[in-house]
Amino acid sequence: AIIGAVTALLLAPKSGSETRQDIATAAEELKKKANKVGQDLSESSEELVKKSKELLETTKVKVQSAIDAGKQAMARRKGESAEGSDT
């Protein structure tokens, strides 16, 4: 699209100063669009990092809960086994 726009500017029947002005305007618009895309990408990546951290924290909590539940179940089993062998 950029190459096509520049080609159209260069081939249009205009004076040199008009063509230079058109190219400068197109370059400025391209710069603004590139900055906007860069800003959008930055915001998107920040949001992705935030969501990833939240997901990691949630997963850590769930894994720790599962580990704790497993330890409690093992402790109960050991207690039951010890009670069963005492009789």
CA 31 – CA 25 distance, rounded (Å): 10
4-46, pLDDT tens digit by residue? 777 776 777 767 787 788 778 888 988 999 999 999 999 999 9
What pLDDT does residue 42 have?
Answer: 92
Specify the pTM. Answer: 0.50
pLDDT of 85 reads 67
b (16+ CB within 10 A) / e for 27-61: eeeeeeeeeeeeeeeeeeeeeeeeeeeeeeeeeee
Q: Which pLDDT score, from 0 to 100, does residue 2 have?
A: 73
The residue count for the chain: 87
The rounded distance, in Å, linking the Cα atoms of 9 and 22 is 7
What local confidence, expressed as pLDDT, does residue 21 receive?
84
Contacts of 5 (CB under 8 A, 6+ apart): 26
Task: Please write the tens of the pLDDT for every residue from 37-57.
Answer: 999 999 999 999 999 999 999
